[in-house]
Structure 1
């Protein structure tokens, strides 16, 4: 089955943030069977689940559950975001830049889906962080928030203060590192990870804007996406499943229609990528189950329905098969 992956440029930035926290990433990479030297290869990519384990081991090694916020302390480099960083830089303003980030996010890391929309009093950038077979860590999401904001401050040359920063999951015991990193009101147990920006901050012209370069970077990014992931139906099916599951168990026919494919073509292309529709449905539900149970405000019944189970008892049976425990015991451990 095709694995989600993370670009070497983003993985390298994560490694720098962990090393800033005293973690020996070289030994952790070796322990996880990853090639540390590949961090310098711009074409290299790392399995998403290996990156998830890296975060888990780094928290254990450092004893610092807020280590993801170290991403705000690094010297900002556009290369952290692969070619997408340069596309952002050359945009007219951050509003246009974020539209590019949404379009090209998969180049940086396939484990993130980014959306961007206006709100009553500003603009919100929303991050949905997924794992592959393992549920994504909180630190991975917090790192994305912290580094994106640091990048925006660097791009604009201004100490931007968001209107709000939202986090899934309960508030940490020590919120001081969060206040220091974001300099903004914080909301925990939120529906999603996101940053609400002031409208004026996103509409202001960027000092590095260059329309000719922006078009050039669009072409580079488009070519990379076409080469790397447009052919990977596995990833696209997962995205459609995440969207459709809250409405009930999606039929293969509905997913094929959403991707403008026939059922037979969908089946064949998944087979070529070493997967199947049923396997992807099961994997996506398992991954989301881990994420939803980390949100204390969701009842077990709500989690079952969000995963598309009409009968909660089917959810409980599936959960025991996935995690060898009950949803209640799993949540208690969290």
Structure 2
């Protein structure tokens, strides 16, 4: 079974966060059977479950359940591997977060990110997965603290989120959270998320550099291709992209192309956290966004390129994906993902 992994860059950020509470991370790594020296290898990766055990052990020894928030105090673009430099060279935080979503698996495979334009601003929404072990709340809280700190670092000024959502229950002591985020807090939320003001996200970044952004895109893309090359999910997605213009691909055809039985294909995809139908749906959704960014392509052409025999099926699928029609989505512009009608309103706790 393929294990989810975390980059050495992110693991180093965790180490620095734990050391702020006086923990001996070299000793912790030894206790967990991890190679501490591998932190200096930019291409090294650590099993996700090992990072989960590291957080658990750190909370147990330090007695500080909010220790994950320390990550916001040590974050720099380097903590995000090559993705951090791609963010730094982006024109705006909107563009930067779109890159973060695209390349997030380079940093850690344990999290799914989405970035949406909501009625109250922009939302960076995080879902942390475990591997064999359930994820810790410290992992999600560290990611949120890092995302906000990175925004502050890139803009050169402190940003105050509209609100911050946490899946975890409200802790006994909320003071560390109030200090870390300086924004209304929502606990027991259905997701972990940062909600930002629109103006903050769309303001030009002082570190923007289009040429460097393209260069870092290339580096990140090459790394992701190397990293994903051995994954059946990546290989199946490539096959789907080739077959879709010929009509909706069937599982047996994709399996045959990959020299696998249907049962083996489904098992391997399940081990990597997806299914054939989910992968097909995700691939269509991603391609739809790319095609709609091309003004010369008609909606009818896009529907057939995505393998829909009937354009009405494309329109129904698109509304399910984005909560609007392809035409309205194109009019609003790809740089501003549409409002997710399924995102509920929350009552926030104000610090």
Same fold (TM over 0.5): yes
In structure 2, C-alpha distance between the alignment counterparts of 1:100 and 1:261, rounded to whole Å = 32
Matched, 1:70 2:70: yes
Superposition deviation, residue 267 in structure 1? 7.8
Which runs of structure 2 are paired with 1:45-84 in the superposition (5 Å)? 45-74=45-74, 76-84=75-83
Q: Distance in 2 between matches of 1:47 and 1:201?
A: 35
Determine the structure 1 residue equivalent to 2:239.
Answer: none
What is the aligned length?
Answer: 263
Residue in 2 that maps onto 1:182: 181
Cα distance, 1:166 vs. partner? 0.3
- Once the 2 structures are TM-superposed, how far is the Cα of residue 277 of structure 1 from its aligned partner? 3.5
C-alpha separation in 2, matches of 1:25 and 1:38 = 13
Q: Deviations over 1:46-85 (max 9, x none)?
A: 01111111011111010111100011222x4211000000
8 A Cα contact 1:93 1:206, kept in partner: yes
Distance, in Å, in 1 between the alignment partners of 2:251 and 2:202 is 33
Specify whether residues 269 and 88 from structure 1 end up closer, same or farther in structure 2 by C-alpha distance, changes over 3 A only.
Answer: farther
Q: Deviations over 1:194-238 (max 9, x none)?
A: 00001000000000000000000000000000001144125899x
Report the Cα distance in structure 2 between the residues aligned to 1:215 and 1:282, rounded to whole angstroms.
Answer: 33
Highest Rg: 1 or 2? 2
Please list every run of 5 or more consecutive structure 1 residues that lacks an aligned counterpart in the other structure.
238-255, 286-334
Equivalent residue, structure 1, for 2:332: none
For residues 216 and 151 of structure 1, the distance between their equivalents in structure 2, rounded to whole angstroms, comes to 20
| TM, length-normalised to structure 2 | 0.70
Contact kept? 2:233, 2:272, Cα under 8 Å: no
Instruction: From the superposition, tell whether residues 144 and 232 of structure 1 become closer, same or farther in structure 2 (CA, over 3 Å).
Output: same
What SS does the aligned partner of 1:268 have?
coil
Equivalence for 1:7: 7
Give the match for residue 94 of structure 1: 93
SS of the aligned residue for 1:58 comes to: helix
Q: Answer yes or no: is the 8 Å Cα contact 1:4–1:235 preserved in 2.
A: no
Q: Do the aligned partners of residues 227 and 284 (structure 1) sit closer, same or farther apart at CA in structure 2, a change above 3 Å counting?
A: closer
Contact 1:9 / 1:81 at 8 angstroms: preserved in 2?
A: yes
Q: How far apart are residue 128 of structure 1 and its match? A: 0.8
Q: Give RMSD over aligned pairs.
A: 2.6
Gaps of 5+ in 2: 237-247, 275-351
Contact 1:117 1:125 in 2 (8 A): yes
SS at match of 1:82: helix
| Structure 1 residues 85-129: Cα deviation after superposition (integer angstroms, max 9, x where no partner) | 000000000000000000000000011111000000200000111
- Aligned residue for 1:37? 37
Q: 2:255·2:262 contact (CA, 8 Å) conserved in 1?
A: no
Name the residue aligned to 2:163: 164
Question: In structure 2, how many angstroms separate the alpha carbons of the residues matched to 1:46 and 1:105?
Answer: 16
Distance of aligned partners of 1:177 and 1:221 in 2 relative to their CA distance in 1, 3 Å threshold: same
What is the Cα deviation at residue 268 of structure 1?
Answer: 2.6
What TM-score results when the alignment is normalised by the length of structure 1? 0.73
Task: Tell whether the 8 Å contact from 1:155 to 1:208 is kept in structure 2 after alignment.
Answer: yes
